[in-house]
Amino acid sequence: DLSGGHILVHGMPGSGKTVAVRQAVRQLIAVENRFQPHGCYWIKIGNISEQKLLATLRDLATEIDSTKLSDVLFVFDDIWNQEYFQYLTFANKSIVTSRFNNMKNKNSYSCIPAKEKFEFDEAIQVLQKRRSNDNNYTLTNNSIVKDVIDRCKGLPLAISIIGGLNLQSDEDWQDLVKTITNKDLETEGFLKDYDFNLFATFQLSVDQLDQRDQQLFRSLGVFKAVQIPLQSIIALWGINKVSVKSKLQNLNQRSLLKFVDSGSPSCSLHDLIIEYLHQSLGNRQSTIALNKQLIDSYCRECNGQWSTYPRDDDYYYQYLMYHVIKTEDDKIIQEIIKDFNWINVKLKSDKTIYNLCVDLQQAIDYLKRKDIANWQQYQQFLWLLQRYEYNLSIENMDLVQVLLTLAFDIDWIKERALQLAKENTNDKNKYWKIAVLHHRQIGKDIEPLKSKRIGKDYYDDRIAVSNPCYGNLRIIGIENNDTQDCRIVIMDYQKSKTIYQITLPKQRISDVAISPDGHIVAFKSSQPELGYLCYNIEKNEELYFFGSNHLKLQHQRFDQLQFCSVIHNNDTVLVTLSENRKQLKVWKIHGKEIQYTNKQISTDYKIESTKWIHNGSEIMLWWTKYDCDWRGGRAVDNWINQCQIQIWNLQPWQCVKSFVVPAFSIQIQQEYLPNMGVSNALPLTAINYINSNVECLVLIYGRTKGGLLMLENYDLELWEDVNKLQNNFQPFPSFIHRIDDLNISSDQQLISIKSDREEIYVFKVGNGKLQSYIKLQSQYDICQSMFIRVAESNRLLVYDRSKSLYEYAVQGDNIPWNILENDGNDEDHQTRELVNQTRPFDFSVAYISNNPVVVQLFIEEKIYKLKVFDGQQQLDHTLDQEYDKCYIFDDWHSVILMSIADDGKVVITQCRCDEEVTNFLSQNCDINQQKTIWRYNPSDIVKGRLVEKLRFRKADNTLIVVLNERLAENRNRLTVVTTNLCNGKSMIYTDENDLLYWNCIYMDDYYLVTLSKSRTLKLVLQCYQIGDDTTQTRSIANQECGHTIERLTCKITLPVNQSTHDFTFKSKLFNRKSSKEELTEYWGETDGNAF
């Protein structure tokens, strides 16, 4: 606290920085009870890449409650790179150790130089601690000992190593002097930076070990510079646990390593010792051999079943692939890539897919360098994982099952997953399960590169992304918007991990924004008194707006807020649009303040929109020169059809360009004409600007029409000239029916247009013209899309209602561009579109003789077909009519097909096979035994029909169909049909109650429970007992429960058998402010807690 919360301990390697800090921190926590209850986080950094550092810090961020940061002490041990200090500013209290000190650090840290050498008496104390046969006096008065301490410059690590040597006589000490002063031995790295032979000092200690122990110690050089679990050392050395511990304790006594025999036993080595071991290994072949020894040891430990290795050894699962690559054994590398069981365990051990993707990419790069023929198929596997990452629930998924579902078109993955699935069952139990997984068939060649999940609720529909050129991409999004559990989340895109979150009281968030470096976030609250809230997530502090008088603004209410896409002179810049939309201001962030820059634009008209262009160097804004309700066609006097567009340069602050375009336009055939009236005209709703090789504007009128207006030869004073406008305007193709969102890539080569709710078109632009396009088709409504720039290539991010974010490559040689003809009006668009001609639209799964069977209904070239398979055998059958649904039931040797016509007619067909599953799927099976078992022709009053439930009751072979029939005047009724599949007899029950709607809330073989609303607006719980082919279904109980379903709690008790009717209802309507205590008081503790 006295040093401003930050201390830097710096000094040469081996000077004892880490030991000193460890002792001091332990004293603070254990003895003085500081930093409780949140404690201390110790992060070993060392000589790692920037990417690895950021990954480490973001892993750390997921473990820490951001609201408690001020109470946590962070120790960042051994920083090698001065640039890394910028990433540590989030810590309120920190201790840093480093080999280096820089003038920049003096402004932020209290710098403490570590003593680079022990004083003589300190060195004697360390030697005495290591030697039980000499007293302090004997060592102090020995001139040779003093000479040794002087020769090794009192370096703490060297003194500690020497203390562990068994030196018995003056001759031994004299030999030591000769050894450490001999610099003839060549050394590398930091070992050569000392005035004495530190390498030889280490060598003396190692030479005192017996031959076997020397080999064992040197083998530790195979490990990475991290904590090494005892289990991995046992595997490498191949001896029992007791012997391993004994040898590690001996090495610890000699200061050759640090062994901790408590909790999860592990050892660590000093960086200089690691460097010594690496130099001892010698050539590349020795390194390969040692890594092979480790992999062979791991293999023996798990009997070649990589996924069965003890799961408490994190090192194994994190670094196995690293060591396998070091062995240069192509066979084992491919074996592990294909071991989906091991990958499954690794994912759960790492709790992220990021490390796996890094491992796979390194393995693929190695195989590619070696020109291994099938490296492409492993790249295919990596792309599959990245593409469907949003489907991977790391904690509880089974990767083999996921791959069986996703890799249906990749043969080697499907075959390998099927093989492992069979092995995993061991013929003891069912292994297969059915999970609902999203799949997107975009087109023949266009698939997402990656997919992520962000958000949870329907209203979580806004995201924003940082600029990838400033590091890993960060995404800001919303979870549980407009609920009591509303949160702002910031996610590391690459690692799919939440790195920061802000919990909010119930409110609706309508906008989110993030700075280009991902450090500052902003979001707009629906609460008027809050407006936009801004946070520095690196420092965990809220930011506030300050006006030109340097006083804090009383409110932060703006209509829009946008961060500049680049950092200007180390400043984060943003613009805001006032609530009345008539004033734009530019701000910059300094510390905790968002400072006004005295740059603003004021207009007499409402500014429609602002946008950063030219990579953040300019701002474009536009407004219309009228004030009218264009939807009602009411214009003010002296109204003119003009829209003013201005482009302002940020430095210096001035308007550099100004354009005038029609504010309203009308389309007559293929021509767009300025319209002098409001009625029947399309208003200008969006504008963007392109200035690559040809300057042009992108204009959108009425969200249905638009195009590119070339500004070359466009006379700004004669904009009303129809010919001039037509000559310079290229409309979007006619297949663009609606324009809800428009984006332009940063290099201004691509335009994306959201057309309709589930379609995006991407256009190439050149010379001010649309040249070609591709289409992306989503399975869900698209919320947003945006371009990002990755490795000099454009990517498109698409965020949809399933809360999934997809990344598409939209630049490169493999993109199937469609050439636009006739100036962009592509008449053959529908026929030239890439579509999949085979379209499955329903499936069903069941177990027959304890084996999984899948039936699939699909259409191929307008012909309906049925496919039946168990993963190995497959049977296809062409159907004689159209069907909508297919069903298969456990141990019932039939497929049920259902057709529902527009007029409400229902036809159910049975495809029967009497043999067990092996014959069910064979060509000998007569699947052609089709028969219509039930045909329902409704009365004239039925306007439509929906199958709510279909169930097979095995006890008496009864098929139960529950129908929701739509009647006139928005009324509905319930119909239950029970059919015996053996004799074909049916019974039909129709509930004659007049209902506005009804929902099935429970169904089993014998009972159906519904919740309905009557014409009197009363909610009714109803229970039905389901009959069979001779006994009619009937209503056995009902209860009214108010007029609203909101906050309604119900408990329904079903009969224990069919001979009794002890059916009970209990319900209670609570108000909006009801507490948990009120629930438990009425329902009791168990049911109250459940509610």
Q: Which amino acid is at 341?
A: N
Q: Do residues 1067 and 1086 lie in contact, with contact meaning Cβ atoms separated by under 8 Å?
A: no
Average pLDDT score over residue span 834-839? 43
Is a pLDDT exceeding 50 seen at residue 987? yes
- Return the higher-pLDDT residue of 1062 and 1022: 1022
Distance between start and end Cα atoms, the chain:
48
Nearest-CA neighbor of 524 among 588, 580, 481? Answer: 481
- Return the higher-pLDDT residue of 399 and 733: 733
Confidence of residue 30 (pLDDT cuts 50, 70, 90): confident
- Return the higher-pLDDT residue of 1047 and 601: 601
Specify the pLDDT at position 190.
46
Residues ≥6 apart with Cβ < 8 Å to 384: 403, 406, 407, 410, 413
Specify the pLDDT at position 467.
92
Write out pLDDT tens, residues 149-161. Answer: 777 766 777 777 7
Is a pLDDT exceeding 60 seen at residue 114? yes
CA distance 774 to 794: 14
Confidence of residue 903 (pLDDT cuts 50, 70, 90): low
The vertex-1039 CA angle with 1036 and 1041, nearest 5°, equals: 155
Mean pLDDT score of the chain: 80
- Return the higher-pLDDT residue of 251 and 631: 251
Is a pLDDT exceeding 70 seen at residue 66? no
Is a pLDDT exceeding 60 seen at residue 671? no
CA distance 894 to 227: 59
- Return the higher-pLDDT residue of 505 and 902: 505
Nearest-CA neighbor of 225 among 8, 7, 18, 11? Answer: 18
Q: What percent of the chain has pLDDT over 70?
A: 81
Average pLDDT score over residue span 687-704? 87
Q: Which of 60-69, 246-255, 663-672 has the highest mean pLDDT?
A: 246-255
Q: Output the six-digit token pair for 1039.
A: 């209860």
CA distance 808 to 1015: 50
- Return the higher-pLDDT residue of 425 and 985: 985
Q: Output the six-digit token pair for 1011.
A: 């919740």
The vertex-496 CA angle with 491 and 500, nearest 5°, equals: 25
Residues ≥6 apart with Cβ < 8 Å to 154: 116, 117, 118, 119, 120, 122, 123
Average pLDDT score over residue span 324-339? 92
pTM of the model: 0.57
Q: What is the 3-state secondary structure (H, E, C) of 514-578?
A: ECCCCCEEEEEECCCCCCEEEEECCCCEEEEEECCCCCECCCCCCCEEEECCCCECCEEEEEEEC
CA distance 225 to 48: 10
Write out pLDDT tens, residues 154-198. Answer: 677 777 777 667 676 777 777 777 777 775 554 554 445 566 666
Is a pLDDT exceeding 70 seen at residue 768? yes
Write out pLDDT tens, residues 565-623. Answer: 998 888 999 999 999 999 999 999 998 899 999 999 999 889 999 999 877 889 999 99
Q: Which amino acid is at 126?
A: V
Average pLDDT score over residue span 212-226? 88
- Return the higher-pLDDT residue of 922 and 353: 353
Average pLDDT score over residue span 506-526? 92
For residue 59, the cross-strand partners are none
Other CB atoms closer than 10 Å to residue 344's CB: what's the count? 20
Greatest CA separation found in the chain?
116
Specify the pLDDT at position 130.
62
Distance of CA 967 to the CA centre of its chain: 46
Q: Output the six-digit token pair for 523.
A: 């979001």
Q: Which of 88-92, 100-104, 296-300 has the highest mean pLDDT?
A: 296-300
Q: Which amino acid is at 618?
A: E
CA distance 100 to 94: 17
Is a pLDDT exceeding 50 seen at residue 441? no
Weakest mean pLDDT among 152-161, 960-969, 982-991: 152-161
Nearest-CA neighbor of 835 among 546, 536, 441? Answer: 441
Q: Which of 10-24, 132-146, 291-305, 901-915 has the highest mean pLDDT?
A: 291-305
Other CB atoms closer than 10 Å to residue 351's CB: what's the count? 13
Average pLDDT score over residue span 125-145? 65
User: Would you call 1067 helix, strand, or coil by DSSP?
Assistant: strand
Q: Do residues 233 and 243 lie in contact, with contact meaning Cβ atoms separated by under 8 Å?
A: no
DSSP 634: B
Specify the pLDDT at position 532.
92
Q: Do residues 394 and 348 lie in contact, with contact meaning Cβ atoms separated by under 8 Å?
A: yes
CA distance 1008 to 1022: 8
Confidence of residue 444 (pLDDT cuts 50, 70, 90): very low
CA distance 301 to 454: 40
- Return the higher-pLDDT residue of 963 and 160: 963
Residues ≥6 apart with Cβ < 8 Å to 426: none
